[in-house]
Structure 1
Amino acid sequence: NGNANTDGVVIGYNYFGSSDKGSFSLSAPFDKGRTATHEIGHCFGLLHTFQGGCGTSNCAASGDYCCDTPPVSTANYGCPSTNSCSNDSPNLPDQVQNYMDYTDDACMNMFTADQKTRVLQVMANSPRRSTLPTSTVCGTPSLTAAFSGTPTTINAGQTVTFTDASTGPNTITSWTWNFDVNSLGGVTPATASTQGPHVVTYNNPGTYTVSLMVGDGTSTDTDQKNSYIIVNPVGTQACDSTLATWDINNSTHTSSTGVYLWSGGNGYILGRNAYGDNGWADKISYTGSGDFLTDVFYYFGVAKGTGNVNLKVWGETGSLPNNGNVMATVSAANTSLATGGTPTLWTISSPPALTGNFYVGFDHTSFATGDTVALMSAPTGTNTVYAKETGGWINLSNYGLTHSAAVIPVVCNSIATGEKEILGNINEILVFPNPSNGTINVALTEKTLSSVDVYNVVGKLVRSTQPLNTQLITINIDDQPNGIYFINVKTGGNVITKKVVISK
């Protein structure tokens, strides 16, 4: 039941082989190779003959579940003649010759027919064991080209580091890199012939395919990653909202779907409610480097009254949010918060640099009777959620509560004064149908469209339009071939990118 990478038997050199066949580093009385036999028996589903002691009279439901192995009270050592159990019929002595006891190697010499049947059943039905007869892992490995690039989304003029990860049975002696397979230009260097790592500059916007061919003197193999590197225009941030655990695809936001309520109808679990909550924070795991927290999307279920809330970002110090340093604060009035499934975007004027895990949340700083702020939350999640009550912060997981708060932190690789491109799945924009036969509808749930541009996978602009004061537009690109296209939607100061597949 463990990890597949460690499921099996690891055999030490001094635990298999027989001293009868030569000089080995073996120790009597376990020098005939039976230790390996015993452990492999476990691997294929066999239990000790003394499993469960004498068990019950129903041999098929107790002990080792094999009726032709007599019950054994405790493990046997040496090579005794004993009958430790008398509840079997006929009453047979302990089967000390069985490989699944603990007797000396020289004493062991058998499996039973029922043990064989059990092994065959395991081999036929266990998900990992059933594939062993056809496994090729013991065959000669083949040469396999592989590589990775970091990062894969950049601005024009920035660099990507490519690292070789190829493997093979022989020493790899040649590497042929092509960092611009489709010859878009502006790539330095465009090719390389050493292992690397290679730091490559991409000066032109577009979507780049990269390949690596390796050779070992007798064979070659190629790894080609299509549309692998996305290069945004200069002045555009490359941002990501994938740190969120909130499921945007399940954003109906009703009391029965996607929103967790306290029992008894006392209010939402996060925010001002009958339990005295006056703040909330979510611990976000971050393992990157060189990024900034520029914006936060919140989904509020309720926002009433004349009070104010403060968005806060804390660094991770200690076990509670306010133990860390305050990295950013943005204040907003209750009346300015969107509710009912529409996100509220809070932009951080001085985006903090991220160096590790952080907390993001809010507290209700000034409120009167009747003021209410409630942040939506899902009943399950992976982040650590904290609530701030009158007595201070509490970790909800300590009370058996596991949640994901409805928040999307937007992390960018730079602080730009121009456009911002949010690559996450933010549901204020809809592109449908997807896949499409060439007719694409683009809709915004809140703001109006400024411009819509369509690019193919090599970064070529194939359609551009500037709709006027509308939240819905239809674009026809049925003259373009089947494939993947990127829809860049500009609204206000933001650019949101969506991918669409054309299949006619």
Structure 2
Amino acid sequence: MKNFTLSAFLLTFIAINFSIAQNKIDSNKLFGKELTEANKQSIEETGFIRCGSSEYEQYLKQTNPNRATSEEFENWIAPKIQELKAQRANSPSVVITIPVIFHIFTDGFGPENLSQATIQAQLDQLNIDYANAAGSPFASAADTEIQFCLAKQDENGAPLAEFGINRVTTYGGGPFSTGNFETTYKPATQWDPTSYFNIWVADITGGVLGYAQFPDNSGLAGLNPTGGAANTDGVVVLYSSVGSVANPNPNGGQYASGRTLTHEAGHWLGLRHIWGDTTSCNNDDFCADTPDSTGSNFGCPTGTDNCIFDGLGNDMIENYMDYTDDTCMNTFTADQKLRIDAVMANSPRRMELATSIACNEATVYNLDGRVEINSLNLIDCGTTITPEITLTNMGNNTITSATISYFLDTDTPSTYPWTGSLAMNQSEIITLPSIDLTSGNHIFNVELVNPNGSTDLNPSNDIDTSNSFAAFYDTATIEFELIPDDYGSETTWEFRDSSNTILYSGGPYTNNDSTPVNDTFTVTIGECYTFTINDSFGDGICCAYGNGSYELRTDNNDVIFAGGAFDNQENVVVSVNNLSVDSFSLANTISIYPNPTTDVLNIKATNNNLPESYKVYNMLGQLVASKTILNDSDLAVSTSNYSNGMYFIKIEKEGNVLSLPFIKK
């Protein structure tokens, strides 16, 4: 199912990305964290931050309190490694193939719009490097028995036009800040991390070549009530680093041969830098067959031994987990392989990948129609939507007729009869009749019913639903709070009425001052307002250079919009009117997680404001489960006995109903 982000009736969010030539490198911080000594040196030596994974891990621990510390992770993985050693003495290991999806951020032009051939070259380099086929001179070098394949099908099982590639054009070609990638772009574009190794490729600001999310241990991390870091799991690399030794990227310089991704994939698989991000000679990467070092190496040095008393010889500058140039790298060791094996056998979202079928040829059904929401054609502060959808034939048989069922929230569905002729892979855009909106929060749903008067053989793509969108607000004031990032001098904002008159404004602010800024906007019933926040550098106010944010609230303290991760500018459009009824804004207080789910679906209610009941329906509209909610324990919905597929959970509170889709896997 595709989630459609709706710019909504009386609340519209517009993110505008402008291409900028600047490339801000903060010599002190990344993700709001102090740079490691290795990265400070990296900037001095190369002008780049070779790897941002260490700073990113600190950021994840701050934003995800349940995430394991390094010590906790090592205490967890050490016995797993010993168990594997004992097992391998009696039986050989097997090659694990990991499906890969490259999310390429592009406006369709320019060098960041990498070709299928470039992606294939990068994949080939990964497989060479992880198979110990790059010509390592070391006896300790090992085939990790990890290989990678380009996904052939998307999350719905439909065939990919370009294997392993998801071109993301929603946000333009960048450049993009690392903070925005974490808070906005990765969660919005990630594919199921239990089925795909997600790799985001983009024009990244700050001189960062790449960074990875270190794996979780199964006891602590990534499992907090908000899903933790699961929705950002993967690797981000600079587009110019994608390539191979045989086919280097023409824009990549000494980092053109694909070893940035080899390095970052190593972190994603549990490997640490060979010097352990310390200045001591104490085997801080927890691999006894990598010579100890007190720091990173650059270029292609020879005869460097930072720890002459460890008896292991010179620094292994050829190791993929050092900072040397791409063409100098050629080695993973046997102990590094064991760490990877332990992660792949035990770590959440890693251990499931071995059974993923994403690289299999997609199943093609005889009768398979797909419906997707293109646009709701919503005008700012308007009162109607005119949905535009796309009907696509994904099957072998020509589709000549179908019924389109559509509805808001839990309203009685309306139907639209369609006739035509769609051969396999052909599409048609259909404009549905306009729908009048009322106050409150809404979700638009569309479903394909009975193509050719028969049963669709692949119901997983027969339903699409919009994100929740809000109607007008009943408020006399709008409360505004801003927390600047470290570069407050770049931030300004304005609050305008429908005649474009500036009613309130603020900024620029003082650098390195996170003192909250508060203001109250007096508003008039029947008026439409636009709040605009600007960042002159183009990297928003969160989170690469401080955790800045802003929030707009009603006089009842209901959140209208909260943000901070944008590029040059972000706009929020708000209409003010009287509510026809005392509406409980379910969509602002209720959410579900994890989605997709395999066992338990959790309902999250803010401020302990419990809903009254829920009902679960399958795609045929049949009631699967229902429950009256009396306490927090009733918010856990067991889905273990559900068949795989899409469902809707309808959550009720004070006569209002919120309908949310979820997938059982």
> Which TM-score band (shorter chain)?
0.3 to 0.5
- Give TM-score, length-normalised by structure 1: 0.40
More helix by share: 2
More strand by share: 1
- Give TM-score, length-normalised by structure 2: 0.32
Structure with bigger RCO (C-alpha 8 Å, 6+ apart): 2
